[in-house]
Amino acid sequence: MSDHGIYYLTIAEASAKIASRELSPVELTEAVFARIEATDEQLNAYNRLMKASALAEAIASADRAKTGALLGPLDGIPVGVKDLYDTAGVITTGGTGAYRQRVPAQDATAVRLLREAGAVIVGKTNTHELALGGTTNNAHYGPTRNPWRTDRVPGGSSGGSGAAIAAGLALGALGTDTGGSIRIPAALCGITGHKPSHGLVSRGGVLPLSLTLDHAGPMTRSALDCALMLNVLAGYDPRDLDSVPRPKQDYAAGINEPIRGLRLAVIPSLLSECQPAVVASFEASLEVFRSLGVEIGSAEPMAGFDDWKSETLPIMITEAASYNEKILDDIPPSVSEPIRTMMNRGFEVKAVAYQRALDFRKVMEQRYEQALATGGFSAYVTPTSPQVAELIAADPTNEPPQPLKFRNTGVFNQNRQPSISIPNGFDADGLPTGLLISAARWDDATALRIAHAVQQVTDWHTKHPGV
């Protein structure tokens, strides 16, 4: 097998080869690090590599493989970790200068669970500073570049994770998502990213942006791979005060069940202002669904309401200001000016405005759940991002705001429903587009099954950039 075949394997493919002893975890890990050495100076997907510990983890996995004692499908799989997740003894910066020397004493819960499953932790992936942005054009650690066009952004804030998977620098990665930060990089980098139901995956040991809206989740090449990672990551954790005890579930078990007969809802208002290539890819995806025997309808859960983003904005900026108050007050020069300015607005929000925003979020959650139930729909389908990847701004401290980028994804942070982005095409310049599939809360299995069904009859998720 060529190195190209190794570092672009899916988790499911690599796991099967490791189990059959056709592929060694050490060989796989070395191929990934060779790929990083060859390309990451150009892409800047990683802030920090953990090569020594990763090779030790790979050797331990190889030893288990020899004795038939593998710990599961993630055993021996190279995984990147967004630089918001604590890693014991390894600097976790959150993408800000304030935390350049911050060394956690213990792993984030999600990192611990990956290690316990035998995953090989490759390193810490670059993020938009403190997760507050959609470009990963980081003023402290440099811009991450999109592997499809290196003059373009990879999306954010989990842009390092998105670029790493797209370019073969990891087989899976951890991301976080407050308004789209898993799914936007997935769409812009041509990979798969799943935002689980709020409360399903622990954020214990993850630097917060807005705990009302923050989600932790997997980024991979396929929906099946996301399901395999979610099997490890899902579970109650007292470290996360929003974690909800749920029955243990195998998200990969029913993923091959056909989707014929399901009803999916398009949200017409989320198609407005989308770029023509995005609309074309979306319409092609609807035809794929119809060919699979799926009925397409429409719903407008927030019909009659004003712009939901204005109503709910106080949540994120107030909570971001609260969680980051110490570094904003004590060492403001180590937080870049635009991030500091946005967060400082949170200190100006009145308590009554914050409470109204929380109440409005609950209305959104209720209406999105009800629209699925009353319409007999299994999920919503929309474009992930209304736009493809834009040019990297020359000055990360002077980027133009792009609220439209988060419009479609941010809805599903507010309503706490599971939401997965899969690749569904390219524009004329070879930039990827994404399809967003969002199901009822706690019905992550259905979102993953629908995404997997599409990926069985399309090949967008198998395409790789030429970087």
Tokens of 451: 């995404």
Among candidate residues 15, 24, 157, 438, the one labeled active-site is 157
DSSP 319-334: HHHHHTHHHHHH-GGG
Tokens, residue 23: 């592929």
Residue in the structure block whose two tokens are 């005060």? 241
Question: Which residue in 40, 38, 35, 43 sits closest to 145, CA to CA?
Answer: 43
Contacts of 252 (CB under 8 A, 6+ apart): 224, 227, 228, 231
Catalytic residue among 158, 161, 181, 243: 181
Exactly one of 82, 124, 195, 405 is catalytic; name it.
Answer: 82
Query: Any catalytic annotation for residue 157?
Result: yes
Question: Which positions ≥6 away from 26 have C-beta within 8 Å?
Answer: 55, 58, 59, 62
Tokens 């807005």 locate to 210
What string of H, E and C letters represents the secondary structure of 332-352?
Answer: HHHCCHHHHHHHHHHHHCCHH
- Our answer to whether residue 15 is catalytic in this structure is no
DSSP string computed for 100-136: TT---SS--HHHHHHHHTT-EEEEEEP-SGGG--SS-
Residue 152 bridge partners (DSSP): 391
Tell me, yes or no, if 350 is annotated catalytic: no
Of the candidates 14, 9, 214, 201, the residue with the CA atom closest to the CA atom of residue 113: 201
Three-state secondary structure call for residue 12: helix
**Structural Rg of the chain based on CA atoms:** 20
Contact by Cβ (8 Å): 172, 225 = yes
- Positions marked active-site: 82, 157, 181
